[in-house]
Structure 1
């Protein structure tokens, strides 16, 4: 048995599972932290025979709305019967006395999250291409789900979605202003002047990219993960983010990596064309959505840089984050002009 990871007491978890789902666990539980940090914490739990995954908010988190376990559990529960591959949820616990915070348990799904081009290299060009195209196909399936039909009709406020998103990230930028950033206010203003008309609302993942899904041995997606930013809104925001992550940064030793440089990775336009063909949606304004994704990531990176300058964020690579922000701003401006 390995030492219990911070944030999860295996004995308390087993006690709760024995009460809530008798017979599920057949032996002492062993837990391993799979993913940590500012995002929700993810643990692999096993009784030696079966495996499950537990999700809970980060330790000492402040913004409960950003780490809403009930919301995550609700969306994967709603999507489980659909064509969208998600882990089967087992239970939700909102009693803080068990693990110190709300959490939920879901099935363990086999698959690999590919985070870098180097990790994709062993697949070869053909399999890499298939995996990325599968990403588009699954996004089409997600956006085809009728929210009301799965009980998610009240999952968000789609009216005025893009305007609220732009204002939200503008406020995030203002909260992280510690230096002059040429072009960022120009980009924010230009996005505001050219807001596209949103299509019919859909369930939006909010952070849809290759390393937030699991790829199986057949190069198909076995599960879409990390639903903490999901809502009802403009589906093309998901596509714009996917297109942004499919652009080669051409930055050596960048602390922000993408898989776009992998041999066989489809070009962004092919992803857009495939989405348009399969979904039937008008993607003519994709430059705006991609530029917005560049802006949003620039704001996120600037926030990390700002906290690093204050000594609040430590670790490898954080000292180089600030150099990336002007690059993302430049890509956002040029992408908007292309549209």
Structure 2
């Protein structure tokens, strides 16, 4: 992590109206995606672009702030932290940034928390219900309230094909994405707001209650089945399992139940949903390919991205199998 947290604290003290209460800045997550820090003394969250080369540029703090602000007003069923000040002047902290109120809770994606392990049936049912209610509230949000910007389904497939090619990815991944570009899945209707990364690992939980849906950097106006397919691809990952703790619990929703609840909640039909799951997994494969490529070319020294390279063969093999089944 390249940022000096003492300098961040000093910059906030000088810029914020309540800056005299800032006692320090603590890193919560940092590296090669959006970074988050706890601003001690005022108990708020600072959000900034990556301090080193990022996986998925550009990192538009102004648009992220606009998305969070509008979703919090237009879709109250989506749990969000309070959205506070935006600063688009890079002179203040070195990059544009915004602040959010701190919310209680913790996220999980690699291991099931104790409170859920203790209640694997009704607790898992409740987690899935709350999680999907948040996604459904976003998909029902008026498009007119969302900041502009989005891709059609063919453009989405082309975007991730370009990302994969730019990362010198495996021929198998490129072939799957080329097929999705040539034969894009059908749409369920007019575009809606889409989160882009609505995995359960981006939810915050406190005492079994969802308190926040986070990480909105890929939000756009597009086909909502992109979100559903992205969630569905975490089922049946086998040895290529990636951040899907909870899916093994007896009360966790099956893929069929997720489709049923989404159709009921949106009034749409989940056409070609298996191909949307393929697109979701291809998107993740493209992202981890970028991490591996940046490590192998010496642009990032973070050992986490060395591990990405080891994961790619099994992950793309699973993708190819899923694509064959989906047709």
TM-score above 0.5: yes
Q: Distance in 1 between matches of 2:118 and 2:58?
A: 35
Residues 196 and 67 of structure 1: is their aligned pair in 2 closer, same or farther, counting only changes over 3 Å?
A: same
Counterpart of 2:113 in structure 1 is: 119
Given that 1:187 and 1:329 are in contact with CA atoms closer than 8 Å, whether structure 2 keeps it comes out as no
Return the match for 1:137 from 122, 133, 140: 133
Q: How many pairs are equivalent?
A: 318
Q: Distance in 1 between matches of 2:154 and 2:7?
A: 39
Residues 1:230 and 2:219 aligned together: yes
Given that 2:33 and 2:49 are in contact with CA atoms closer than 8 Å, whether structure 1 keeps it comes out as yes
Counterpart of 1:324 in structure 2 is: 311
Residues 25 and 303 of structure 1: is their aligned pair in 2 closer, same or farther, counting only changes over 3 Å?
A: closer
User: Unaligned regions of 5+ residues in structure 1, if any?
Assistant: 19-23
Shift of 1:59: 1.4
Given that 1:87 and 1:109 are in contact with CA atoms closer than 8 Å, whether structure 2 keeps it comes out as yes
Residues 7 and 61 of structure 1: is their aligned pair in 2 closer, same or farther, counting only changes over 3 Å?
A: farther
Return the match for 1:268 from 255, 275, 295: 255
Residues 1:195 and 2:178 aligned together: no
Counterpart of 1:176 in structure 2 is: 167
Counterpart of 2:148 in structure 1 is: 155
What is the CA RMSD across the aligned residues, in angstroms?
2.5
Q: Distance in 2 between matches of 1:324 and 1:64?
A: 19
Given that 1:11 and 1:29 are in contact with CA atoms closer than 8 Å, whether structure 2 keeps it comes out as no
Residues 178-204 of structure 1 deviation map (CA, whole Å, 9 limit, x = unaligned): 6xx353343123222331232211111
Residues 132-168 of structure 1 deviation map (CA, whole Å, 9 limit, x = unaligned): 23211110001100021x2x2x51145xx11111111
Given that 1:248 and 1:258 are in contact with CA atoms closer than 8 Å, whether structure 2 keeps it comes out as no
Residues 247-287 of structure 1 deviation map (CA, whole Å, 9 limit, x = unaligned): 143328x6x43222345332222111111111111113111
Q: Equivalent residue of 2:28, what SS?
A: strand
Residues 317 and 35 of structure 1: is their aligned pair in 2 closer, same or farther, counting only changes over 3 Å?
A: closer
Given that 1:236 and 1:286 are in contact with CA atoms closer than 8 Å, whether structure 2 keeps it comes out as yes
Counterpart of 1:41 in structure 2 is: 35
Given that 1:132 and 1:266 are in contact with CA atoms closer than 8 Å, whether structure 2 keeps it comes out as yes
Counterpart of 1:250 in structure 2 is: 238
Q: Distance in 1 between matches of 2:93 and 2:163?
A: 31
Shift of 1:66: 2.0
Q: Distance in 1 between matches of 2:15 and 2:186?
A: 48
Q: Equivalent residue of 2:238, what SS?
A: coil
Q: Equivalent residue of 2:252, what SS?
A: coil
User: Unaligned regions of 5+ residues in structure 2, if any?
Assistant: none
Return the match for 2:205 from 209, 212, 215: 215
Counterpart of 1:21 in structure 2 is: none
Residues 85-136 of structure 1 deviation map (CA, whole Å, 9 limit, x = unaligned): 1111111011112101111011111111112234365453131331123211
Q: What TM-score do the two structures reach when normalised by structure 1?
A: 0.85
Q: Distance in 2 between matches of 1:222 and 1:8?
A: 30
Residues 182-238 of structure 1 deviation map (CA, whole Å, 9 limit, x = unaligned): 533431232223312322111111111111111222x33211111111111111101
Task: Give 1:24-35 correspondences, 5 Å limit.
Answer: 24=18, 27-35=21-29
Shift of 1:60: 4.2
